[in-house]
C-alpha cells in the first residue's frame, strides 16, 4: 500500500491506498476551517503550526489502524506542488522522515493532478474513517469508466475535458494521458473559489466562503427574493480565460451602498446575485470550449466543484452538447490525501520516485506537469 500526505493548504490529511486494486483503505482528514474563520481567509503561519501539530496526531491513528505494522507500506506519496510553502514543507518533512525510517521510496505529487484523480477514488472500507460533511451527499457519479478515461487513448473523441475550480485555481484542462495534460484556459486574476471566500469575507460569513455563499443563495431562492444583478465577467471577450476580480469588486461596492446592518434578505440577494454571475461566467466559457472540443467526456473537480448550483447548470450544458459529465464524490472534492494516494499509485506503477535529497517543494510551479495549449 501507499501512505499519502496532503498539507498544501488548510487540511491535514493522511490516507492508505492499496496498490494492487488502487482502492482507498484508510483516510483521515482534519480541516482548519474554524481556526481561519475569524480571519476570513487562511493565515499561512497558523496553518503551518496546525499541520505540525496535527499530522503527527493523525499518523498515530493511522499506525493504530495498522496495529503498528508499517511493513506493508511500499512508498510515501506527498503533495509537493502547488500550495503554500510553509504548509507544503510540513508534509514533505514528515514524508522524508517516514521514507528514511522505513527505507522506502518517496513520490512527489502535483496537488492539481490529485484533484483530477478524485474522480476515481473507490473506497474499500465499510465504516467511514474520514471525518467529513458528506452525510447529505448525492450518490457519487463515479464509474469504473472514469478510470479508463484517465489512461492513454487513441481516439480524440475519448478525450476528457476537466474544469478545475478550487481556492487557488480555475482552469479548463484537457487530459490526454497521465503525463499529458494541457491547460486550455485559466484565470487572469482571482480563482472561482477565492472569489466566494472574498465575498463571504465582505459579508462576515466566515471561512471557507463557498458553502456559506451557496447556503445564502439558496435562502434567496426559497424565499423568492430577487437576486442582485452583477455584471458577468469578460462578457464580450471571446478568449478562453477567466476573471473574477471585477465581479468581486462589484459585490464589494454593492455591499458598501446598502444600509447597515444587512438583513438576511440583503445578504441572501447579494450571495445569489454573485453566485449567478460567477457560474454564468464559467458556463459561458465552457460553452465556448465545447464549441471546439471533440471529446465526449467532461468533469468538474476541486473544492468548489461541491457547489450544487454549478453542478446542476453544468449538467444542463453537458446535456445540450451531448457530453457525459463526471463528478467526484462530494467527500473528495475538497483537499484530501485520498486523491494524493490515488495519483501516488499511478507514479508507483510507473517507477516514478524522487531521491530524498532531491525532493523539494515548489509552491507555484507547474513546470513539467501541465503544458499550456494553443489549440483553442
Ligand atoms: O480544492 P480546495 O479544497 O482547496 C484548494 O486547493 O484551494 O478548494 C477550496 C475552495 C475554497 O475557496 C472554498 O470556498 C471553495 O473551494 N468551495 C466552494 C464550495 N465549497 C468549497 N465554492 C463554492 N461553492 C461551494 N459549495
Ligand atoms: Zn485543492
* Residue that has been written with the C-alpha cell 450571495 in this structure: 271
- Closest-CA residue, ligand 1 atom 7, reads 167
pLDDT value of position 140: 38
- Distance CA(58)–CA(15), nearest Å, equals 10
Best of 6, 165, 193, 281 for a ligand 1 pocket test (most atoms within 8 Å of beta carbon): 193
Query: Does ligand 1 lie within 6 Å of residue 335's CB atom?
Result: yes
Q: What is the DSSP letter of 335?
A: S
303 lines ligand 1 (CB under 6 A): yes
307 is in an annotated binding site: yes
Which pLDDT does position 309 carry in this prediction? 98
Question: Within the chain, where are the H helices?
Answer: 33-37, 44-65, 85-102, 111-117, 144-149, 192-202, 209-222, 245-257, 264-290, 308-320, 337-349
Helix (H, G, I), strand (E, B) or coil at 351: coil
Ligand-binding site membership of 177 (annotated): no
165 is in an annotated binding site: yes
Whole-angstrom distance, CA of residue 283 vs CA of residue 293: 15
210 is in an annotated binding site: yes
Q: How far apart are CA 300 and CA 310, in angstroms?
A: 9
Q: 83 CB under 6 A from ligand 1?
A: no
Cell of 128: 467511514
Query: How far apart are the C-alpha atoms of 37 and 345, rounded to whole Å?
Result: 34
| Ligand nearest, relative to CA of residue 10 | 1
Q: Is the CB of 307 under 6 A from ligand 1?
A: yes
Taking CA atoms only, the protein residue closest to ligand 1 atom 14 is: 210
Peptide bond just before 261 cis, omega within 30 deg = yes
**Nearest bound ligand to CA 137?**
1
Q: Which residues contact 145 (CB under 8 A, 6 or more apart)?
A: none
pLDDT in tens, the chain (376 residues): 999 999 999 999 999 999 999 999 999 999 999 999 888 889 999 999 999 999 999 999 999 999 999 999 999 999 999 999 999 999 999 999 999 999 999 999 999 999 999 999 999 875 454 444 444 443 333 445 567 667 655 566 678 999 999 999 999 999 988 888 999 999 999 999 999 999 999 999 999 999 999 999 999 999 999 999 999 999 999 999 999 999 999 999 999 999 999 999 999 999 999 999 999 999 999 999 999 999 999 999 999 999 999 999 999 999 999 999 999 999 999 999 999 999 999 999 999 999 999 999 999 976 678 988 766 6
Residue 197 assigned ligand-binding role: yes
Q: Which three cell numbers stand for residue 87?
A: 504548509
312 CA to centre of ligand 1 in angstroms? 17
206 lines ligand 1 (CB under 6 A): no
Establish whether residue 194 lines the binding site of ligand 1, counting it when its CB lies within 6 angstroms of any ligand atom: yes
315 is in an annotated binding site: no
pLDDT digits (tens, 9 = 90+) for 168-215: 999 999 998 888 899 999 999 999 999 999 999 999 999 999 999 999
Nearest CA to ligand 1 atom 8: 303
Q: Using alpha carbons only, give the angle 234, 162, 333 rounded to the nearest 5 degrees.
A: 100
Closest ligand to Cα 114: 2
Q: What's the rounded Cα separation, in Å, for the pair 330 and 359?
A: 31
**Predicted pLDDT of residue 154:** 58
Ligand 1: nearest atom to the Cα of 308: 26
Residue 261: left (phi > 0), alpha (psi -120 to 50), or beta?
beta
User: Which pLDDT does position 150 carry in this prediction?
Assistant: 72
Can you list the domains of the chain with their CATH numbers?
2-121+331-370 (3.30.420.40), 156-327 (3.30.420.40)
- Is 214 close to ligand 1, i.e. is its CB under 6 Å away? yes
At 268, list the grid cell.
441572501
Which pLDDT does position 135 carry in this prediction?
41
Q: How far is the CA of 193 from the centre of ligand 1 (A)?
A: 5
Regarding the beta carbon of 190 and ligand 1, being less than 6 Å apart is answered no
Which grid coordinates belong to 151? 489512461
Q: Return the number of other C-beta atoms located less than 10 Å from residue 253's C-beta.
A: 11
Closest ligand 1 atom to the C-alpha of 167? 7
Tell whether 69 is in a known binding site.
Answer: no
Amino acid at each position: 500500500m501507499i501512505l499519502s500526505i496532503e498539507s498544501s493548504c488548510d487540511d491535514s490529511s493522511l490516507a492508505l491506498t492499496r496498490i494492487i486494486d488502487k482502492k482507498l483503505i484508510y483516510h483521515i482528514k482534519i480541516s482548519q476551517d474554524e481556526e481561519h474563520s475569524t480571519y476570513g481567509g487562511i493565515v499561512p503561519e497558523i496553518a503551518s503550526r496546525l499541520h505540525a501539530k496535527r499530522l503527527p496526531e493523525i499518523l498515530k491513528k493511522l499506525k493504530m489502524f495498522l496495529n503498528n505494522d508499517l511493513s506493508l507500506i511500499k512508498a510515501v506519496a506527498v503533495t509537493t506542488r502547488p500550495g503554500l510553502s510553509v504548509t507544503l514543507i510540513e508534509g514533505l518533512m514528515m514524508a522524508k522522515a517516514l521514507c528514511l525510517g522505513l527505507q522506502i521510496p518517496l513520490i512527489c505529487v502535483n496537488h492539481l493532478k490529485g484533484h483530477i484523480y478524485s474522480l476515481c477514488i473507490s473506497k474499500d472500507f465499510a465504516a467511514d474513517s474520514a471525518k467529513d460533511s458528506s452525510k447529505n451527499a448525492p450518490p457519487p457519479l463515479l464509474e469504473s469508466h472514469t478510470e479508463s478515461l484517465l489512461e492513454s487513448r487513441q481516439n480524440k473523441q475519448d478525450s476528457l475535458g476537466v474544469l478545475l475550480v478550487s481556492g487557488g485555481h480555475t482552469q479548463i484542462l484537457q487530459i490526454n494521458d497521465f503525463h499529458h495534460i494541457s491547460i486550455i484556459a485559466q484565470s487572469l486574476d482571482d480563482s472561482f473559489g477565492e472569489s466566494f471566500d472574498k465575498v463571504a469575507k465582505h459579508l462576515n460569513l466566515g471561512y471557507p466562503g463557498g458553502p456559506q455563499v451557496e447556503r445564502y443563495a439558496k435562502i434567496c431562492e426559497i424565499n423568492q427574493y430577487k437576486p442582485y444583478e452583477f455584471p458577468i465577467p469578460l462578457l464580450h471577450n471571446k478568449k478562453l480565460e477567466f476573471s473574477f476580480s471585477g465581479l468581486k469588486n462589484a459585490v464589494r461596492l454593492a455591499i458598501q451602498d446598502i444600509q447597515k446592518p444587512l438583513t438576511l434578505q440583503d445578504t441572501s440577494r447579494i450571495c445569489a446575485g454573485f453566485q449567478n454571475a460567477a457560474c454564468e461566467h464559467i458556463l459561458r466559457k465552457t460553452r465556448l470550449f465545447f464549441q471546439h472540443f471533440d471529446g465526449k467526456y467532461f468533469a468538474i473537480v476541486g473544492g468548489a466543484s461541491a457547489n450544487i448550483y454549478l453542478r446542476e447548470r453544468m449538467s444542463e450544458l453537458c446535456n445540450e452538447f451531448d457530453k457525459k459529465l463526471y463528478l467526484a464524490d462530494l467527500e473528495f472534492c475538497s483537499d484530501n490525501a485520498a486523491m494524493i494516494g490515488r495519483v501516488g499509485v499511478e507514479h508507483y506503477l510507473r517507477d516514478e520516485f524522487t531521491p530524498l535529497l532531491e525532493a523539494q517543494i515548489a509552491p507555484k510551479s507547474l513546470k513539467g506537469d501541465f503544458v499550456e495549449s494553443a489549440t483553442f
